[in-house]
Amino acid sequence: MRVDLNCDLGEAYGNYSFGGDHQIIPLITSANIACGFHAGDENVMNETVKLAKEHNVAIGAHPGLPDLKGFGRRNMDISLDEIYNLMIYQLGALQGFCQIYQVRISHVKPHGALYQMGAKDKAIARVIAQAVYDFDSSLVLVGLANSFLISEAKNVGLITASEVFADRRYEDNGQLVSRRESDAVITDTEEALNQVLKMVKENKVISKNKKEITLQADTICVHGDGAHAIDFVAKIRKVLTKEGIDIQSL
């Protein structure tokens, strides 16, 4: 049994710093690097690719909507052609930095609102998947387990990785509880660790309304920001290892 631990990195911008990238990168196996639209810039991308290479962490593109002020978490009225083009644009930007460090992009995980739009809208999921396939058909597309992102990626011929969340609650339909809801994030460490084990070992999660949902858990999303984030990820690694689960990149 194996699972990947992924984290969104490189989300600083100019003089603004976010997240503990240097602290969390030794604990993860895959990094999703912001590509400049929702966060990150050319300097941050350069440093983050270099950091990932130094720690032998798989490098993923983390493209988002062009919304720095909203951190890419706000839905936008955007055409399918625009989504396709912004995907290609951001993948190309990251590929440039990967090329100078002689590393490759291994996977793609859309960010924030783009991720959620693709999870819920079949047409958007299809164009995201098609953009990834057209850019490099060997890339893995990371998406919410049981969502359109996964099914449409498979339909276009991509390898997929179904993502689960250690510290997020789920709706009865398998979607994540919106961050606008007060109970969206699990703050109790033991509850979150139990959720992780159930998802990885049993391929099941309990929704906020106590419904059991079946899902595939190929990769676990963890976070590097927050007062106890680093300690929490270390505990996830410890409990997975204790259960005999290999932690490997995608």
Would you place residue 71 in the very low, low, confident or very high pLDDT band (cuts 50, 70, 90)? confident
Helix count and strand count (H, E) for the chain: 8, 10
pLDDT for position 180:
86
Domain annotation for the chain: domains and CATH numbers: 2-247 (3.20.20.370)
Residue 226 has pLDDT above 80, yes or no: no
Q: Indicate the residue type of 148.
A: F
CA distances from 21 to 43, 61, 205 (A): 14, 16, 28
pLDDT in tens, 114-150: 999 999 999 999 999 999 999 999 999 999 999 999 9
In the prediction, which pLDDT does 14 show? 85
Q: What is the pLDDT of residue 227?
A: 64
pLDDT reported for residue 179 = 84
Report the pLDDT value the prediction gives residue 16, as an integer from 0 to 100: 82
Residue 77: exposed, middle, or buried by beta-carbon count in 10 A (0-12, 13-18, 19+)? exposed
* pLDDT band at 15; cut points 50, 70, 90: confident
> Average pLDDT for residues 68-89, to the nearest whole number?
94
Tell me what pLDDT residue 225 has: 72
